[in-house]
Amino acid sequence: MCLKCGDIVHAEIGFTEVTNITLAEPSPIYVVEDLRERAPRVSRMCPRCGYDQAFHWFSSVSGEHAGVKQERTLEHLRCTRCQHSWAETR
């Protein structure tokens, strides 16, 4: 019997080995409100659908290349119509 779907297959085999598998309890998944939906709206054209309004928020990215620290600001945008997301470097 398949543990996933419960399908039973009968077979003509002389030797049968039965193994019980105990699956671990799945860990809980916590759903957190998406705060980006409360982000301010700006007039920016969506590259996917062409709508002219998007939510926007900022984040910063830092890293190091060839021993030189670099930091940049990203502006994240999400179309209010089709929910397409994109980012622009500031």
In the chain, what are the domains? 35-89 (2.20.25.10)
Written as one string, the DSSP assignment of 33-90 is --GGGGSPEE----TTT--S-EEEEEEEEEEEETTEEEEEEEEEEEETTT--EEEEE-
Instruction: Flag whether pLDDT at 73 surpasses 80.
Output: yes
Mean pLDDT, residues 15-21: 70
Highest mean pLDDT among 13-17, 24-28, 71-75: 71-75
Task: Read off the pLDDT band of 7 (50, 70, 90).
Answer: confident
pLDDT at residue 25 above 60? yes
Residue with the two structure tokens 């399908």: 7
pLDDT score for 76: 93
In contact, 81 and 45? CB cutoff 8 Å: no
Q: What pLDDT is stored for residue 15 in this prediction?
A: 63
- Compute how many other C-beta atoms are within 10 angstroms of the C-beta atom of residue 60: 9
pLDDT-above-70 percentage for the chain = 83
Q: Token pair 């998944």 is at which residue?
A: 29
